[in-house]
Structure 1
Amino acid sequence: MASDRPVIVYPPDEASGRRVRVDGTILGRAFSTQDVARFMQEAGLHDFDEMDVVRSSLIDWRGGGPDAWEH
């Protein structure tokens, strides 16, 4: 991963999904921290789980932290 905070989780949309971008590429929409963990695993961080997502400094949470999933 190229930068200090290469993962951006965008604010919840109308369907309560949050776009997840890793190193400039949108990987999809997450509806929970479990989904974000799956995206992190797909990006090469195979041991990432939900607790890592909540605590990681790699993730830039926009529009609310890991507990904000409603629009």
Structure 2
Amino acid sequence: MDHTRIVVHTPGLDGSRRVTSGDETLGVAYHLDDVVDILRRAEVDLDAVEVEESDIIDWQGGGPDEWPGLSEHIEP
């Protein structure tokens, strides 16, 4: 499947990040593993794509290790 640039958007307040390809929303991720699953469902060849360093993935508002809504959550 031919994809336009994939964008993992800036994290929301809950730490979620929207994943899009062109005008299409592929899914919402809460962790890097979710991004991998979303891309797999979208038939992106993960053997050819290093998710964390791929030229076709634009990580906005932080890279693949940035999930601030989750990392800043404090348990009572």
TM-score range, shorter chain: 0.7 to 0.9
Q: Which has the higher contact order (CA 8 A, sep 6+)?
A: 1
TM-score normalised per structure 1: 0.79
Letter in 2 for 1:7: I
Structure 2 unaligned regions, length at least 5: 70-76
Q: Which has more radius of gyration? A: 2
Aligned length: 67
Structure 1 regions of 5+ residues with no counterpart? none
Alignment RMSD: 1.9
Structure 1: which 4+ aligned runs deviate by more than 3 Å?
Answer: none
Greater helix percent: which structure?
Answer: 1
TM-score by length of 2: 0.75
